[in-house]
Structure formats: structure tokens, C-alpha cells
Amino acid sequence: MNAEIQSPVNIARVAIRDGIVRSTVLRSTLLGEYASLLITGHALFGAVWWIAAVPKNPAALIMVLSGLWIAFLAVGGFAGEKWTAAVTVFMLVMTGVLAIMGVSAVPEWMTDSIIAPLVSTIVLGVLLIVEFLDCRVRSQAGLTIPERRKQNGVTLKLTFIGLFLAWGLGVPTVKAIYGLSHPVAEKISMERMSFVEEAGFRCGEAMVTFCFFALGANIGSFLNVVVWRMPLGKSIVHGDSRCPVCSTKIASRDNIPIFGWLGLGGQCRACGIEISPRYPIVEAITGTVFLLFYFVELISGGANLPVRETNFYRGVLWIIMYPKWDLIGLYLFHCFLFSSLLVFTLLAVDRNCIPRKLLAFCFTIAILAPLLFPSLVLISAWPSGTSSTYTATQTLLHGVAGLIVGAIAGGFLSRLLTVDQKSINQRVAVIASMSLIGTMLGWHAALCIAVLFGISRAIRRHGLQSQAAFQSGSFGGELLVVTLLHHLLWRMEWTALTAF
């Protein structure tokens, strides 16, 4: 047996016993053991009650079988086998149909309680994910790291396809089944979309959503280029991407964000040198944040934004297809802020100073964009009017006030919390980040984020046992997370502040 399989990590991966009850991802932790016990007890409890309903309606037998199957899966029954996942999918579909159509001739409390078909459907969905993870662990036992990465790439592609089909075809199918079991007046029925129309519309929504994630992932790929080339004085516009060791040009098919790295197994196709996993991680983070802002800020009609009235008509159709340019502009403006903060953080992690050209570019965009589009200013430097009536002087004052307050707050935080005097570039990154936050979001947001950042550092200092572990943390990374949290809860924060 080779050393790869004999390593402790791989011994854990192949620790699935060949028996009926096996090791499973669900029961790999103490919390998982408790969850397994809870799911098993709940499933058996529901199965007992549904047995009594079988004489009244034979469809209740589906609930009995699903309860027994859930209990069997929860304890690790045949974990890691593909056929168990197929059975789980079948049971999920059957309980899902019962949840949509309802179960007649049974007590009403059974369909509206913790043993309802909808609850069983949700539990089966969670266990299906666990089954998928178990199958993945079993299939990757004994594989090399590059082989696992390639397999993960295939799995990720199938996951995207599955999500696309689930939304594009699954949702219309569920609505069609519900329509058959809950007939409506003919006039109302004629106004509804047909199954084909509904499927086409949902597939369009899924495609638009994927495009926003792809936009973020591609920008993340560009950010990697900025972080790598700018400290070396190289152009970020001209020049092909090449392997830093053998200088071989990276092929277009290998330069696709996330998927390209996974397809290569994290190695250069020419020389086989290891490619840092930070590249796909940055791409995935950026794509995820773009997608998060897409849901929370864009198609929600600006539900997280303070002062601004939330759009009455929301969703992909009313925000994207019938474009609301003010909201789209805010989305792009805030995505630019996050991307800039991410670059500052990565440069600080690499112990590199932020290039002056990059700072000049970021702050120029931060100041000029609101002057050209006043709707990008949500909270004025002082309360007066609405963003559409802001004068150029008020908009400029908003940026300058935010810049000053952000710089002061950033300088105070970096000196108060930084104990490692060698991390000068990290301190500069915190000051630059806070200054940019204040310039783009306003001095109010800069102060709120500074307070949240200080609380985060205090909690982290208290939670870590060693002072060395506390000092080794990245200030920029914490600031990035705190800023993201503030942005998601911005409206709630502003409402709470103005209530006093």
C-alpha cells in the first residue's frame, strides 16, 4: 500500500466500514451524533403515527417508509453507496408530492406539525447532501491530491447543472403539481403562465444569476493579477498569463476562473509545478460576494440600503429585465468597494505596500462616481433632502468628510490594536481601507464599521488562548468580514441609530 493511502488523512477518508451501519459525515462530530439521534427519534416518532393513518389513506404508507428510511440513513445505513442516494431521491420526490397535494382523510394536525410531509422532504434533502458527501469521501479514498481536485471540478460542474435544472424545471414542476391539486377559476388560470413559459422564465432567472456569479469570479481572477503584478511593477492590462516557473502561456481553457484550476488539479500543465490554491479561493470569494449582493441588494429592491425606499416591484424581471439603473449603479459601486478592500487585504497578507497608482485609482473612482451619479450617495454628510437633490458641493463634502473620518478611525484602530511593529504594510492597509469605506459609504458607515471592528478584535482577543495567535491574524481580513456584515445589515443599523 503506498504512502498516500497510509497517511493519517487518507486513513480517515477510507475509514468507512464494509457493513450495514458505517461511518458517515453526519456522525463525524459530537454535534453530528446529537443531530443523528434527533433525526432518528423524530423519524421513528412520525412513522408510528403515520402507520395508524394507513387504513384511512394508503398514501400514508409513503410517510411510514420515508420515516424508516430517514432513521436508517441517520445512523449511517450503507453510507457512501450510490444506490442509497438514488433511493433517497425517490423518497424525497414522493414526500414532496404529498407535501404539495396534501394527504386526505388524516387528522389535520399530522399535515401541519413536525411530522408533516414537508418536514420529511426537508430532512431528506439534508440527508441527500450528506449521502453525496459520503459518496465523495468513498470515491476519493486513495486518490492523489491533483486527482481529487479534478474530481471536485467535475462535481462542481454537475452541482451547477443540478441547481440550474432544479430552479428551471423543478420549480415549474412543483407549481404544476400544485395547480392540479388546487384548481382555480378558469379566468385566473388563463392569466397564469403555462408550464413551458414558466420553465423558460425560471431558466432565464437561473442563467442571469449564474452570470452575476461568473462576473464576480472573473473580477476575482483579475484581482489576482493585480495583487501579483503591481508590486513587481508589471502591467495589469498587457501580457498573457504565464506560469511563474516555466513561463509557459496558460491556455484559455485553463484560465477559466475556479474550473480551470480544478481541471488542472492545481498544477501547471507544462511543468507540473504546484499552483497556489489562493487563486481559485479569491475567485470563489469574489463570485460569492457578488452573488450575495445580487440577492440582498439588487433583486431585493435595495432591501439592505438605508434611507432609500425599497423598490415595490422586485426580482430579476423588474430589476434586471426592466433595468433600474440607480439600483444597478449602487450594486456595482459597492462591489467595486469590496473588490478594492480585497486587493488591499491580499497585498497586506503578502507583506507588500499598496501601490500609489492603485490608491489613486480607487479614490478617484470613489470621489468622481458620486459627482457624476448623485444617487450613489445614500446618506448625506448632513441630513438635507434626498440623493437626487444633492448638489456637487454636498456630494463632494460627503466624500471628503468620509475620507477624513475613515482615515482617523483607521489610524486609531491600527495603532490601538497592532502590537507587531513590523506589520507596517498591514497597518497602512487598514487605514487605506477605512478611508475608502468612509469616502464611498459616508462617515457614518465608517464609524459604525470601526466600532464593529473593535468589538470583533476584542472578542477574538478574548477567545484566543495565546497572544501570538491573536497577533498573527490579518487585520484586513477581519475588516473585510466586518464591512460585509455591516453592508448586509446597513438598513437595520441605520434604523436603530436614527431611532435614538
pLDDT for position 74: 93
CA distances (Å), origin 105, targets 47, 53, 109, 126:
17, 8, 12, 29
| 115 three-state secondary structure | coil
Query: Other CB atoms closer than 10 Å to residue 301's CB: what's the count?
Result: 20
Is residue 456 a part of any domain in this protein?
A: yes
Q: Quick one: cell of 30?
A: 459530537
Is a pLDDT exceeding 90 seen at residue 282? yes
Q: pLDDT tens digits, residue range 210-236?
A: 999 999 999 999 999 999 999 988 888
Provide, rounded to the nearest whole percent, the portion of the chain with pLDDT above 70: 88
Question: Which three-class secondary structure string do you get for 39-86?
Answer: HHHHHHHHHHHHHHHCCCCCCHHHHHHHHHHHHHHHCCECCCCHHHHH
Amino acid of residue 7: S
CA distances (Å), origin 246, targets 222, 236, 262, 264, 266:
21, 20, 20, 16, 15
| 242 three-state secondary structure | strand
Cβ proximity of 438 and 446 under 8 Å: yes
Q: pLDDT tens digits, residue range 339-354?
A: 999 999 999 888 888 9
Is residue 15 a part of any domain in this protein?
A: yes
Q: 77 has which bridge partners? A: 21
pLDDT for position 13: 42
| Confidence tier at 326 by pLDDT (50, 70, 90) | very high
Is a pLDDT exceeding 90 seen at residue 209? yes
From 79, 111, 143, the end of a domain falls on: 143
Q: Which of 123-132, 140-149, 293-302, 428-437 has the lowest mean pLDDT?
A: 140-149
Is residue 51 a part of any domain in this protein?
A: yes
End-to-end CA separation in angstroms for the chain: 69
Is a pLDDT exceeding 50 seen at residue 291? yes
Structural domain count, the chain: 2
Is a pLDDT exceeding 80 seen at residue 274? yes
Q: Quick one: cell of 324?
A: 433600474
Task: Decide: residue 422, CB within 10 A, 0-12 exposed, 13-18 middle, 19+ buried.
Answer: exposed
* Distance (Å, whole) CA 397 – CA 210: 38
pLDDT for position 190: 59
pLDDT, greater one: 461 or 335:
335
Q: pLDDT tens digits, residue range 450-485?
A: 999 888 877 777 655 444 444 444 566 888 999 999
Sheet strands (E) in 220-300: none
Is residue 133 a part of any domain in this protein?
A: yes
| Confidence tier at 121 by pLDDT (50, 70, 90) | very high
| Confidence tier at 195 by pLDDT (50, 70, 90) | confident
311: left (phi over 0), alpha (psi -120 to 50) or beta: beta
Is residue 293 a part of any domain in this protein?
A: no
Q: Quick one: cell of 299?
A: 433583486
DSSP-assigned letter for residue 416:
H
Is residue 239 a part of any domain in this protein?
A: no
Kindly report the pTM of this predicted structure. Answer: 0.85
Is residue 415 a part of any domain in this protein?
A: yes
Q: Quick one: cell of 484?
A: 460585509
Average pLDDT over residues 277-303: 95
Is residue 263 a part of any domain in this protein?
A: no
pLDDT for position 408: 94
Q: 249 has which bridge partners? A: 242
pLDDT, greater one: 177 or 256:
256
- Domain of residue 442 covers 299-498
Q: Using alpha carbons only, what angle is made at residue 387 by residues 386 and 393, rounded to the nearest 5 degrees?
A: 105
From 116, 143, 170, the end of a domain falls on: 143
Task: Decide: residue 491, CB within 10 A, 0-12 exposed, 13-18 middle, 19+ buried.
Answer: middle
From 143, 161, 184, the end of a domain falls on: 143
Q: pLDDT tens digits, residue range 156-194?
A: 999 999 999 999 998 898 888 877 777 766 555 556 788
